[in-house]
Amino acid sequence: MSRSADTGARRRGRLDPGRGAPALSRDDFTDLVCACRGGDERAWAELHARFGPLVRRVVGSYRLQQADVDDVCQHVWSRVCRDLHTLRTALTLRAWLATVARREALRHLGRARRDIPVGGPWEFASVPGDRGDPEESAVAAAECELVRAAVRQLPRQHQELIHLLFADPPVGYDVISEKLGIPRGSIGPMRSRIVGRVRQVMAGERGR
């Protein structure tokens, strides 16, 4: 291949023979996307390095706590791994990733409005309306008590994790990992399991 042809191929995002990973142009990430779809770990690492800051900026724009930003970003990349095959053209990769990040941040905010722990592992904020209709206030108080009771049934480590995840000021994942002796990458999935367990216990209590 001539030098000019080689340069043209690189600008179009063709594979870089020196590195074995896709060489990126500004907007056309076709080869990178294809390599990721094919399970190339180096391509995935390149994708994350290239667009990780973009994903974090989008998620961070929703004013989440640092621990929650880390958690949402993990969910974003899990969804990207699952849904990358649905991307119609690599030319829209940047916009698609930003859209996925926004949707995951909004999903997190929706969940947070339903379950917002404050002040400690057994303290959960009541829903809006606790200063209005007395009947609504009573229902809200009963709901919060259900949540507290469900959390008290969790293993001690899970209670401590809930406390740290919603501490004020926020506590980062690195600190949580060190305090509880669990891998940093396990915190997000563990949080999801804990919330799911709390909801199961609450559903059982309501059914009595």
CATH of the domain at 168: 1.10.10.10
- Are residues 158 and 92 part of one domain? no
- Are residues 95 and 184 part of one domain? no
Whether 165 is covered by a domain: the verdict is: yes
Radius of gyration of the chain (CA): 22
Q: Could you tell me the residue range of the domain that residue 142 belongs to?
A: 134-206
Whether 129 is covered by a domain: the verdict is: no
What DSSP string runs through 164-202? HHT-SS---HHHHHHHHT--GGGHHHHHHHHHHHHHHHH
Cis amide linkage into residue 169, ω under 30° from 0: yes
Between CA 111 and CA 10 the distance in angstroms is 44
Per-residue confidence band for 7, with pLDDT thresholds at 50, 70 and 90? very low
The whole-number average pLDDT for the span 127-141 is: 50
Q: Quote the tokens at residue 140.
A: 């809200």
Mean pLDDT computed over every residue of the chain: 75
Q: Are 123 and 149 in contact (CB under 8 A)?
A: no
Closest C-alpha to 37, from 71, 80, 95: 80
Q: Quote the tokens at residue 70.
A: 């880390």
- Are residues 93 and 193 part of one domain? no
Whether 125 is covered by a domain: the verdict is: no
Report the CATH number at residue 29: 1.10.1740.10
Whether 128 is covered by a domain: the verdict is: no
- Are residues 159 and 109 part of one domain? no
Q: How many residues does the chain have?
A: 208
pLDDT digits (tens, 9 = 90+) for 136-195: 555 555 666 667 777 788 888 888 888 787 776 777 888 888 999 988 878 877 887 888
Q: Helix or strand or coil: residue 117?
A: strand
| CA distances from residue 40 to 51, 94, 96, 108 in whole angstroms, order as listed | 17, 19, 20, 30
- Are residues 202 and 109 part of one domain? no
Whether 124 is covered by a domain: the verdict is: no
Between CA 124 and CA 3 the distance in angstroms is 65
- Are residues 106 and 8 part of one domain? yes
Given 113, 144, 179, the domain boundary residue is: 113
- Are residues 19 and 94 part of one domain? yes
Interhelix angle 156-165/173-180, rounded to 10 degrees, is 160
Between CA 81 and CA 78 the distance in angstroms is 5
The whole-number average pLDDT for the span 21-48 is: 81
pLDDT digits (tens, 9 = 90+) for 85-120: 999 888 899 999 999 999 998 888 877 655 544 444
Whether 127 is covered by a domain: the verdict is: no
Q: What are the respective helix, strand and coil percentages of the chain, to the nearest 5? A: 70, 0, 30
Residue type present at position 180: L
> How many domains, the chain?
2
Residue type present at position 109: L
Hey, CA dihedral for 13, 15, 18, 20, is it positive or negative?
positive
Whether 185 is covered by a domain: the verdict is: yes
